Amino acid sequence: SIVHPGEDSELGVAERESLLSVTHTITSLNTGKQFRQRLLGILDTISFEQSYPSPLHVNFFDKAQIEALVRSLETRARDGVTYCDVRALRQVLLTELANQQGPMVAGQRPHIMEEIQMVLETVVAHNEVREALQRKKRAFESWRQVVEVLLTSVPQDLLSGERRQALLIDLLQELLLKVTGDDVSFEASSLVSERPSLTTLA
């Protein structure tokens, strides 16, 4: 058969274009999968579960007054967490005990000291819970920013609009599963609702 000049070269160009198209499709698929794996891997490091100390039970002190005293000694630290000043609380309680007179108080002093220690330990535990919730808040905000940066910086030819939306929906579904578990605390799950929604990136 007669081959016209240029047919071989034209065929080569068509094959190369087809190969590039297939390669681009595979790259796009891999990009979406890689982003999903990486983002979900980071999300898995954030726990929305949070344990809390047992409710305070007191015999010598008035519970309502103790709670009011604790609130009056709360201060906001630089990291945004509100802590109760445990040292100041201890001093107030010891002063209150020293002001109590009578043989009955003297006989109950060891029990009162145990109650003071229990109050202090409970307040310390609440301080630690607030600190833990703040860490979760910062971790989730960092994850959300990573999602935003990655999805806004990836070129459209690597992650098209449809794939971008599918990835966002997938991430939102996984996030919803994490914050609706049986062991997830209300305070921890509310950290998600306080932040800007990922749907704004769609």
What is the pLDDT of the chain when averaged over all its residues? 77
**Count of CA atoms in the C-beta half-sphere (13 A) of 23:** 6
**Residue 86: its pLDDT value, please?**
96
Q: Is residue 82 pLDDT above 90, yes or no?
A: yes
Distance CA 108, CA 110 (A): 6
User: In the block, which residue shows the tokens 């087809």?
Assistant: 18
Domain boundaries, the chain: 13-180
The rounded distance, in Å, linking the Cα atoms of 31 and 46 is 23
Tell me the whole-structure pTM to 2 decimals. 0.71
Question: Residues near 83 by Cβ (< 8 Å), separated by ≥ 6?
Answer: 74, 75, 76, 77, 127, 130, 131
Of 197, 189, 137, give the one whose Cα is nearest residue 168.
Answer: 197
Amino acid making up residue 129? V
Percent pLDDT > 90 in the chain is 23
Q: What is the pLDDT of residues 130-161, one digit of tens each?
A: 999 888 888 888 888 888 887 777 777 777 77
pLDDT tens track for 5-51: 444 444 455 554 544 443 444 344 455 677 778 888 888 888 888 88
